[in-house]
Homo-oligomer: A and B are copies of this chain.
Amino acid sequence: MVKKTKDYRNPAEYYTDPENSIGYLARVVFRSFSRLLERRTLTHDVSAGQWRFLRQLWREDGITQRELSQRVGMREPTTVVALKGLEKAGLITRKKTTDDRRKTFIHLTPHAKKLELVLAPMNAEIHEIATKGMSDEEVEVLQGLMRRVIENLADETRKLAVLSDIKA
């Protein structure tokens, strides 16, 4: 049974209780998750934000700054700042090629590679805590539904982008 369109002029219908709003629930999940993760990563002087960049580099070392931004889901200026920190901490190096001199390739240092063994499992541990008492099936349902929400919101965002392109 698929939901009907609601009548937003009807006060009884136009409210989403904060506690029931997917947006609110997602915010709480993200923040709680992130704090517990950071609590662990900070024991190795890595913030949760930095950890997210490292996670991607552990999987794909040597990609460009732009690719890294896209994979991690951050805008480029955010990546610039994050990489400055990671470079200062001796976790990454940046390399230019003569091929296309605009591009910057990001490489992990040996130290950062070693940290993978300690830091990468931390996310899985928090994940384990977060899904305590849930069956594998329930976890998959949750992931699937969240992905559908993401797709729905992305569709809408794309739609709006097309509209503003037309105007421009």
Contact = CB atoms under 8 A, between A and B. Distances in A.
Contact of A120 (B6, B15, B30, B153): B15
Contact of A150 (B15, B20, B29, B139): B29
Interface in A35-75: 35-37, 39, 55-56, 71, 73
B123 A23 contact: yes
Q: How many copies does the complex hold?
A: 2
Q: How large is the interface on A (under 10, 10 to 19, 20 to 34, 35 or more residues)?
A: 35 or more
A127 interface: yes
A145 B148 contact: no
B134 A145 contact: yes
A127 to B, nearest CB: 5
B135 A33 contact: no
A23 B149 contact: no
A127 B22 contact: yes
Interface stretch (A82-90, A93-101, A102-110, A154-162): A154-162
A115 interface: no
Contacts of A121: 8, 14
Interface of A: 1-3, 5-6, 8, 13-16, 18, 20-37, 39, 55-56, 71, 73, 120-121, 123-139, 141-143, 145-150, 152-157, 160
Given A2-B133, A16-B124, A30-B30, 12 more contacts: A3-B131, A6-B128, A14-B121, A23-B30, A26-B26, A26-B29, A26-B30, A29-B146, A31-B73, A129-B153, A138-B145, A141-B141
